Chain A
Amino acid sequence: GAGVSQTPSNKVTEKGKYVELRCDPISGHTALYWYRQSLGQGPEFLIYFQGTGAADDSGLPNDRFFAVRPEGSVSTLKIQRTERGDSAVYLCASSPDRGGNTIYFGEGSWLTVV
């Protein structure tokens, strides 16, 4: 596609439920990033994929968060047993490679846990 596509754009879920957020990067981009942005804050790094593998998952807050990219293109961020503190905008970004190039952000998935 023309840009990074994220679905759903908005998700409201109940505390304790499981949620999946999808990212479709720009075609051909090998690097993919997930960030989380809480209200009034800047984005915080969660995880980085180079191809199919998670090259750096140091930003994942705890083991309720998991992300996959099985074919090196689309990625899914999975959140188990959601908590109200997980409410945020989840941003995906992609770039042609790991370094030196501009990364392109999607518009984000707004997650609200009630």
Chain B
Amino acid sequence: GDSVTQMEGPVTLSEEAFLTINCTYTATGYPSLFWYVQYPGEGLQLLLKATKADDKGSNKGFEATYRKETTSFHLEKGSVQVSDSAVYFCALSDGPNTGKLIFGQGTTLQVKP
């Protein structure tokens, strides 16, 4: 079945460091890909998405490019802030119902001042 694999955490960075969180997927069709973020004490929020190959999703300085050839959707940010500390989830939806998502296990990011 479809699946998502994320790099293990926690990831600890200093403020202004470059961030990469790896995500790869397995899917039989042509999924849409998502990054969700969960800040402490809050619900899951959509960070960015891409719906077809070579699309780049971006939001709040974060970017991810849908790479069909490597089945990847790595999350990047050029300069992290303390406020970016959160748990990040990569997810896919296979089909038109984009609310039925398959999530990775999550990666905790801690940014230190």
The answer to whether A33 and B103 touch (CB under 8 A), given A42-B89, A42-B91, is no
CB of A107 within 8 A of CB of B100, answer no
Cβ of B17 within 8 Å of any chain A Cβ, yes or no, is no
Q: Tell me the total A-B contact number using a CB cutoff of 8 A.
A: 59
How distant is B55 from chain A, measured CB to nearest CB, in Å? 14
Q: Interface size bucket, B side?
A: 20 to 34
Which stretch in A13-21, A60-68, A77-85, A96-104 binds the other chain? A96-104
Partner of A48, one of B100, B104, B105: B100
| A99 surroundings in chain B (CB, below 8 A) | 96-99
Instruction: Decide: A107 and B97 in contact? CB cutoff 8 A.
Output: no
Q: State the B residues within 8 Å of A (CB).
A: 4, 41-46, 89, 91, 96-106
Not counting A95-B99, A100-B96, A100-B98, a sample of 17 additional A-B residue pairs whose C-beta atoms are within 8 angstroms of each other reads: A4-B43, A31-B99, A35-B101, A41-B105, A42-B103, A42-B104, A43-B89, A48-B99, A93-B44, A93-B99, A102-B46, A103-B46, A103-B101, A105-B43, A105-B45, A106-B43, A107-B42
Interface pairs A-B: 10 shortest CB-CB:
A42-B103, A105-B44, A99-B96, A105-B43, A107-B43, A103-B99, A102-B46, A33-B99, A43-B103, A42-B105
